[in-house]
A and B are shown apart, each in its own frame.
Chain A
Amino acid sequence: MNPKPGTSDLPKEVSLTIPILENMEVAATQTAEAVAQFMEFDREQIDELKHALIEACINAFEHSKSGDSKVYIRFVMNPEDLVVVIQDFGQGFDPGEVPRPDLSAKVSGTDGYKRGWGLMLIEGLMDSVEIQSGEAGTQITMTKRRNKGGAQ
């Protein structure tokens, strides 16, 4: 019989390391799906988690310039929420310097750069997001709470 959330024998954490290679974010979403299903998250919560995780992985893939070319992901299962930590040991960035994307400017062509949505989407799809970044790398900690109206 599988242990369930809230029981003493609940496995608390799942760790995953993915190489920085094209489409490896999909491997991370498959683990996220399994963990979130185990925690009995509903379909919408699982999909939101997966899409936020894709964006966090892509950010690391494209911007970290990590020397070890890896992204480290931890899924921490708590009774009330799932915390996902995405870490790289790359060059880091200043979140305060990331411009807020303006869709009007992008659609009109005023802004020729159509990208830059990752952080906005992560924040919009998760319940809370913390970013710590510096010369040693970047750690994004994002949390999805259990849907109180859903299965517990």
Chain B
Amino acid sequence: MINQFAVTVRREGDVAVLHTDGYVNNLGGEKIGEQANALIAGGTTKLVIDMEKSTVINSIGISILIEVIEKVQEVGGALAFCGLTRTIAKTFTIMGLAQFAAIRDTEAEAIAALS
């Protein structure tokens, strides 16, 4: 679980959906950040991060997600999360993350939130 983090990208129109799988710690966060940076550099401004297969996160991983939100905002884009466990959703709520990124239950809802 610890060192087997994976992130894959799927395109849905002008939205890129990043599917994470594993513990979002420093390593996982960095992998998400690398993918997001490459997408933004390539002109994508709408990102969905689907965390259905990531049930554990830590504040180091979250700090990298904040960097991703910052970069998306710099290019006038938007980001949405979906597939969060209740606890990760609560964590994001405690931090106030919903002010800066949409949080939806499903991938379809998250994509719709960016339209």
A34 and B86 CA atoms in complex are apart in Å by 20
Chain B 56-88 interface 0/1 with A at a Cβ cutoff of 8 Å (1 = within)? 111110111011011001100000000001111
Name the residue among B1, B56, B88 with the largest chain A CB count within 10 angstroms. B56
The stretch that binds B, out of A44-52, A63-71, A133-141, is A44-52
A120 contact set on B, CB distance < 8 A? 94-95
Is A84's beta carbon under 8 Å from chain B? Answer: no
Quote the shortest CB–CB distance from A6 to chain B (angstroms): 26
A125 and B87 CA atoms in complex are apart in Å by 8
Is A103's beta carbon under 8 Å from chain B? Answer: yes
Is B13's beta carbon under 8 Å from chain A? Answer: no
Is B96's beta carbon under 8 Å from chain A? Answer: yes
Name the residue among A50, A101, A117 with the largest chain B CB count within 10 angstroms. A117
The stretch that binds B, out of A75-83, A91-99, A104-112, A142-150, is A104-112
Q: Are A115 and B59 in contact (CB under 8 A)?
A: yes
Nearest A residue to B63 by beta-carbon distance? A114
User: Which one, B58, B62, B70, B91, contacts A107 given CB within 8 A?
Assistant: B70
B contacts with A: majority SS: helix
Q: Which residues 38-62 of A have a CB within 8 angstroms of B?
A: 44, 47-48, 50-51, 54-55, 58
Q: Are A26 and B91 in contact (CB under 8 A)?
A: no
Quote the shortest CB–CB distance from A113 to chain B (angstroms): 9
Q: Are A54 and B58 in contact (CB under 8 A)?
A: yes
A121 and B88 CA atoms in complex are apart in Å by 11
Nearest A residue to B62 by beta-carbon distance? A117
Q: Are B96 and A103 in contact (CB under 8 A)?
A: yes
B69 contact set on A, CB distance < 8 A? 107
A125 and B62 CA atoms in complex are apart in Å by 15
Quote the shortest CB–CB distance from A76 to chain B (angstroms): 22
Which residues on A are within 8 Å of B, measured CB to CB? 23, 25-26, 29, 44, 47-48, 50-51, 54-55, 58, 101, 103-104, 106-109, 114-115, 117-118, 120-121, 124-125
Which residues on B are within 8 Å of A, measured CB to CB? 1-3, 23, 25, 55-60, 62-64, 66-67, 69-70, 73-74, 85-88, 90-91, 94-97, 99-100
Pairs across A and B, CB under 8 Å, 22 listed: A25-B58, A26-B2, A44-B86, A50-B56, A51-B58, A55-B58, A58-B58, A103-B100, A104-B96, A106-B66, A107-B73, A107-B100, A108-B73, A109-B70, A114-B66, A115-B60, A117-B63, A120-B94, A124-B94, A125-B87, A125-B90, A125-B94
